[in-house]
Structures are given as C-alpha cells and as structure tokens.
Amino acid sequence: MLPQKLQAKLDKRTESNSLRALTHQSKLIDFSSNDYLGFAKSESIFREASAILESSGLKTNGATGSRLLSGNHKLYDEAENLLCGFHKTEAALIFNSGYDANVGFFGSVPQRGDVILYDEFIHASIRDGMRQSLAKSYKCKHNDLADFERLCQVERSRNQLNTEMYIVTESVFSMDGDSPDLEQLVFLCEKYKAPLIVDEAHAVGVFGKNGEGLIQQLGLENKVFARLVTFGKALGCHGAAILGSEQLKKYLVNFARSLIYTTALAPHAVATIISSYNQLYRPDNEIIALKKLPENIQFFIKKTDFLGLKSRFIAGKSAIQSAVIPGNSNVKMLSRKLNEAGFDVKPILSPTVPAGQERLRFCLHSYNTEQEISTVLKLLAELVNNFPA
C-alpha cells in the first residue's frame, strides 16, 4: 500500500485533472517535440557517430564509471574542444543532462552568504539546484529589468563583505518561448558587479548563423559568467555542457556532485554530440533545416495574426509558441481534439504553469510544412471560438 500522504497527493492531482502519465511516442504530425532541426532522426548523424566510434577504437557499450574514475574516455576531450571553438568559450564541461548540469552548477557555485536573483519562470532544474545551495535566492518578476534592478539595489545596500550576487535567466523560456532583453541585463550585471548565468537550452540550434544560440547572436559571449547548452533539443542527442572559464571548469570538476557521483555518458552518446555539432559546423549538409526553422517560425506567427489568434499567444520569436487557454480541462480537451485531427500538440497544465495560465504549447520544427501549420492553426481558431480570451 502507498503511504496515505502520498496517496492523498495523487488524489489531489486526479481531482484537479492534472495527473501525469507516461505515454508512447505518437505517429501524429509533430508539434510537441524539442527536435527543432530534425537531428534526432538524422541518418547522417547516426552514421557519422558510428564512424567516430570505429575510428577511435571505442567499441564499448558503457563508460564504466564516473568521469573522475574510469569514465572519462578520449571522446570527451574531442567534444569539449569542439564546443569551445563553436561557442567561443575558454572551457566546456559536459554533464549527463541539462538537469544534471543545472543541479551541479547551482548546488556548488553559489556559497553561503551569496545571493541568487532569478527570473520567476526559471527552469525546474535551476530551482532544484538552488535548493541544494547554501546561498539565499530571490525571485524576480518575469523579464522585468526594473524588478531585477530593485533587488540588486536592496542587496548591494546591505554592504555585506564577500557576498557574490548571481543573476540567472534563460535566453528562451521553455514554457513561454519568450526572451529577456539580454543586452540590458548584461549592462545591469556590469553595473552591480553580478555574474550572469544564462540557460540556452532552447536557443542553441535556433538562434545564430549556425545555431550558436542567442548569446552569441548578440555578441555577448564574453559578458556571461556561465552558459548552459543542452544537446537533447535542437542537437537531437543527449547531454549538456556548462561553458565558461578554465577556472570555473576546474571548480565544477571538484565540487559539482552531479558530475562527480554519476556514471559518465557512454562513448556512443558523446560521439553523437560530436556528429551533431559537425552538422552545424558545416551547414551545407543541413542548411535546409537551419534556414527552414526560422521561416516556419515567422510563418506561424503571421498565421496566428491572420486567423485572429494573436491575442491568445505569448509574444516570442522562438520555436516555442504557446496559446494560453485557462483551465486544465479546457486545454486537455483542445489538445485531444487536435490529436484526433492528426496533430501532436501537448497541453501544459497547472501546476507546471500557474493556475489560469494553462496552455497549448506548439513546438515548431524545420520539417513542419506550411500546410501543416496552416491546418492546425485553422482548426485551433475554430475550436477556441467559445473559450474566453
């Protein structure tokens, strides 16, 4: 029997129509996955990763241990050097996932007496990392520079010695698909001498000439203390990396528990990271994907305006476009209707987002056609006529 307190929590989820369950991948038209460039299905990436393993002589199924024991195989050096060149950073440290990277970073870098100022819509993995930290953390209003500055002034007025104040945001937010004013945020960080940390999980592969991310598109890579890049979204594979200085990398190798106390990625996983980045380095192989994705994003945005849906959608220029439909039951019903019509569009329920901010989250891809985008939005427009805005 499940303990009573745990059963009560499950019952509460059932009552609020927010109980989660595992499902298999569907064969519907994809408007839900993070595979923005189609790299997860790329046979050329798969074949090149296999060739990398063959040429390196690493014909093993697993890493055999943590990176600090037996798991730091030579492909890690190749991959991290590749990341440094591509992302214009001094050092890169690969973790098993974006979750591991954020938990490891925020659980070890901010110290007792330090302060973290973070956007209220920051990813759950960052929140979990901050819970492991001994630093104090304070929430700022979403993408509100004035609120960030207000809290900066409060913290700096305390005049505490040896206090580091970190500012944390995402370049593209995972549920809203919008972005902060990163240039002004960098200016704010310089003004208050606050190291800036930016999660670029949903920007890599989407922004920048070759998919370098929003920070590099804006030329801010030397203004950021640490960047997180993940490989499980536009790169179509698995893992993540923290980008920063050599000293930061050395620190994380010594103190990031999610790196130290877990088995490393298998050679095949790291070979796939190398292969995926090679596609971005030589875009002649995937240039259609790199060009088609922003075209699809612009087409989607224009179509929402044409169909009178613009007020429903959160403003953003990323591959994530979210239509707010309040109420778990309402958004689940709309998702089911779109599924029945052949489109895989997922509902995002509270408590993942605040109550009243439930939404349909459309993830756009290079391989979606204009016909698919037009059809799914026309159907959505028909379905939401009877719903309050």
One domain for residues 101 and 193: yes
Q: Does 6 map to a domain?
A: no
Q: Does 90 map to a domain?
A: yes
One domain for residues 37 and 48: no
Last residue of a domain, one of 238, 261, 281: 281
One domain for residues 201 and 60: yes
Pairing of strands 240-244, 320-324: unpaired
Contact 368, 306 (CB under 8 A): no
Count of C-beta atoms within a 10 Å radius of residue 139: 15
Q: Does 12 map to a domain?
A: no
User: Does residue 386 surpass a pLDDT of 80?
Assistant: no
Mean pLDDT is lowest, of 13-27, 196-210, 216-230, for 13-27
pLDDT score at 282:
72
One domain for residues 273 and 293: no
Can you give the CATH number for the domain in which 333 is found? 3.90.1150.10
**Nearest-angstrom CA–CA distance, 144 and 194:** 17
Token pair of 292 as six digits = 């088609």
Last residue of a domain, one of 239, 266, 281: 281
Q: Does 4 map to a domain?
A: no
pLDDT in tens, 161-176: 678 999 999 999 999 9
Q: Does 17 map to a domain?
A: no
Strand-pair partners of 198: 169, 227
Q: Does 369 map to a domain?
A: yes
Contact 259, 252 (CB under 8 A): yes
pLDDT in tens, 262-307: 999 999 999 999 999 999 987 554 567 889 999 999 999 999 999 9
Domain ranges, residue 321:
23-41+286-386
Last residue of a domain, one of 281, 311, 329: 281
User: Does residue 364 surpass a pLDDT of 80?
Assistant: yes
One domain for residues 101 and 223: yes
One domain for residues 273 and 143: yes
One domain for residues 188 and 330: no
Rounded to the nearest integer, the mean pLDDT of the chain is 94
DSSP 196: E
One domain for residues 54 and 96: yes
Q: Does 10 map to a domain?
A: no
pLDDT in tens, 148-203: 999 999 999 886 667 899 999 999 999 999 999 999 999 999 999 999 999 999 99
One domain for residues 210 and 243: yes
Closest CA to 64 of 239, 263, 253: 263
Mean pLDDT of 84-104: 98
Q: Considering the entire predicted model, what is its pTM?
A: 0.94
Mean pLDDT of 203-211: 95
One domain for residues 236 and 166: yes
Mean pLDDT is lowest, of 21-30, 182-191, 227-236, 337-346, for 21-30
Diameter of the chain by CA atoms? Answer: 61
Closest CA to 346 of 355, 336, 354: 336
Can you give the CATH number for the domain in which 221 is found? 3.40.640.10
Token pair of 336 as six digits = 């089911």
pLDDT score at 385:
75
Strand ranges inside the chain, DSSP E: 29-30, 91-95, 115-119, 136-140, 165-170, 196-199, 226-230, 240-244, 320-324, 343-344, 346-348, 359-363
One domain for residues 115 and 65: yes
Number of domains into which the chain is organized:
2
Q: How far is CA 200 from CA 36, 122, 206, 328, in A?
A: 14, 12, 10, 29
Phi, psi of 277 (to 5 degrees): -70, -35
One domain for residues 68 and 201: yes
Pairing of strands 226-230, 196-199: parallel
pLDDT score at 59:
85
Q: Does 267 map to a domain?
A: yes
Contact 194, 118 (CB under 8 A): no
